[in-house]
A and B are shown apart, each in its own frame.
Chain A
Amino acid sequence: MTSFAKGIAAGLVVGHALVLVAALVILPFAHDKATSAWNLVTVTVIDKDIPAGTPLTYQLVAQRDVPEQFVTEAHVRPEQTATIISRPMPHALKKGEPLVYSSFALAGEVGGSDCE
């Protein structure tokens, strides 16, 4: 085997090894970047259309998975559902809409003005 042929063989091995290492480093990173914002988290949603003023009950709420990029700290999580049960919703909600804590500040405002 000439030294040139040995060089080609070594170049091929090193070149392919570098490509494989680069792929193994870049691919998981690119995969995480593409999918991380779409990991699903569970939020509490309303299970049927309700008019304004309806007190919330467990029968009226359900859970739904939503990509985490759309969920903020204001969304009610399933483990927090107990805190909103029996609270009146100050505005109408349609089936599937997520519940947010901001609404209950509004309920306080409503209750504090005319309902005492």
Chain B
Amino acid sequence: MKEQSKRGFREGLLWGAALALPFALITALLGYGYIGLKKTAVRRGWNLVEAVVASRTLAPGETLSVEDLEVRSVADLMVTADTILPAQLNASIGRRLRVPLAAGQVLHRDFMEGMTSDAEQGEAPACPPAETKPLSAEASKNILSIKRALAQEASR
């Protein structure tokens, strides 16, 4: 009698758990929908375009290889007329960098030797004002040293 009662309880337990499955399904659907809405909300207003970016931190003088660059979706405000687009990726391979690049930074034409920007072609960069000294080659090695050099100059 007791054994039969135990078996009945176990069967009921399984049926009860099975009956909770629709609830699990509804909860999963609601959760999925909520996350989808959140995703749409945070992305609203940002138009993404594909551009070529540095896949790692790169120093001036480095010759660009396929491994150094990747195509990534970036916000359109990061893309200018000088930005290297995926179709121009091949033209960038083998070029030497003129400036340091941070990982993920969008590549511009004037950051590479032999690829001047439209702006430079049309209008030569003016000389810096007398009170602004150019950065030394040492200071231009990486982003951090540029920041330091500019900060030192600004504090003077």
Contact = CB atoms under 8 A, between A and B. Distances in A.
A53 B16 contact: no
A12 B105 contact: no
B128 A55 contact: yes
A55 B4 CA distance: 90
Interface residues of A, number: 73
Interface string A79-101: 01011111111111110111011
22 contacts: A6-B9, A7-B8, A10-B9, A14-B16, A16-B20, A27-B31, A27-B34, A52-B119, A53-B125, A70-B78, A74-B100, A88-B129, A88-B132, A90-B125, A92-B117, A92-B119, A93-B80, A104-B146, A110-B127, A112-B134, A112-B137, A116-B134
B89 to A, nearest CB: 19
Contacts, number: 237
Give the interface SS of chain A, mostly helix, strand, loop or mixed. Answer: helix
Interface of A: 2-16, 18-20, 22-23, 26-27, 30-31, 34-35, 38, 45, 51-55, 64, 66-67, 70, 72-74, 80, 82-94, 96-98, 100-112, 114-116
Contacts of B101: 74, 102
B77 A98 contact: yes
B15 A30 contact: no
Given A107-B128, A111-B135, 6 more contacts: A11-B13, A12-B17, A18-B20, A54-B126, A83-B154, A112-B134
Nearest to A56: B132
